[in-house]
Amino acid sequence: MQPWLTLRHMTGSHSTKDIHKNISRSTSSPNSYAAPVLFELHPLMAFPECNPSQEDGIEGKSQPTEESCLHKAWARFLKGVSYFSGDMEVFGKWMEKQFILLQLLDWVLRGASQVMFVNNPLSGLIIFAGLILQNYWWALNGFVGTLFATISALILQQSRGAIAAGLYGYNGILVGLLMAVFSNAGDWYWWLLLPNIFMSMMCPIVSSALASINSRWDLPVFTLPFNILVCLHMVATGHYNHHFPQVLIQPRSELPNITWSEIDLAKLFRSVPVGIGQVYGCDNPWTGGIFIISLFISSPITCAHAILGSAAGMVSGLALSAPFEDIYFGLWGYNCVLACIAIGGMFYALTWQVHLLAITCAFFCAYLGSAIANIMSRFGLPACTWPFCLSALTFLLLTMGTKRIFKLPLAKVTYPEKNLAFYWRMKKEEKAEKTEKEKKTIEEQLNAINEERILDEKEQLQQELSRMEEGMQC
**Site residues, a copy of itself (CB under 8 A):** 156-159, 198, 202, 205-206, 208-213, 216-217, 231-233, 235-238, 240-244, 252-256, 258, 319-321, 363-364, 367-368, 370-371, 374-375, 378-379, 393-402
Q: What are the backbone dihedrals phi and psi of residue 380, each rounded to the nearest 5 degrees, phi first?
A: 70, 25
The Cα 249–Cα 471 span in angstroms is 112
The Cα 276–Cα 307 span in angstroms is 8
Q: What is the 3-state secondary structure (H, E, C) of 353-382?
A: HHHHHHHHHHHHHHHHHHHHHHHHHCCCCC
Nearer to a copy of itself, 364 or 423 (CB): 364
Nearer to a copy of itself, 46 or 352 (CB): 352
Radius of gyration for the chain, computed over Cα atoms and rounded to the nearest angstrom: 29
Q: How far is the CB of 388 from a copy of itself (least distance, A)?
A: 15
Nearer to a copy of itself, 75 or 314 (CB): 314
Q: How far is the CB of 244 from a copy of itself (least distance, A)?
A: 7
Nearer to a copy of itself, 131 or 322 (CB): 322
Q: How far is the CB of 254 from a copy of itself (least distance, A)?
A: 6
Q: How far is the CB of 199 from a copy of itself (least distance, A)?
A: 8
Cβ(324)–Cβ(380) below 8 Å: no
Nearer to a copy of itself, 42 or 407 (CB): 407
Question: Cβ-count burial of 84 within 10 angstroms (0-12 exposed, 13-18 middle, 19+ buried)?
Answer: buried
Nearer to a copy of itself, 397 or 442 (CB): 397
- Which of the 8 DSSP states describes residue 62? S
Torsion, Cα 238 240 243 249, to 10 degrees, reads: 40
Q: How far is the CB of 11 from a copy of itself (least distance, A)?
A: 36
- Which of the 8 DSSP states describes residue 287? H
Question: Which DSSP string corresponds to 266-326?
Answer: HHHHHHHHHHHHGGGT---HHHHHHHHHHHHHH-HHHHHHHHHHHHHHHHHHHHTT--HHH
Q: How far is the CB of 243 from a copy of itself (least distance, A)?
A: 4
Nearer to a copy of itself, 411 or 474 (CB): 411
**H-helix or E-strand spanning residue 98:** none
Rounded to 5°, angle at Cα 82 from 56 and 66: 45
* Residues written for the chain: 474
Q: How far is the CB of 346 from a copy of itself (least distance, A)?
A: 18
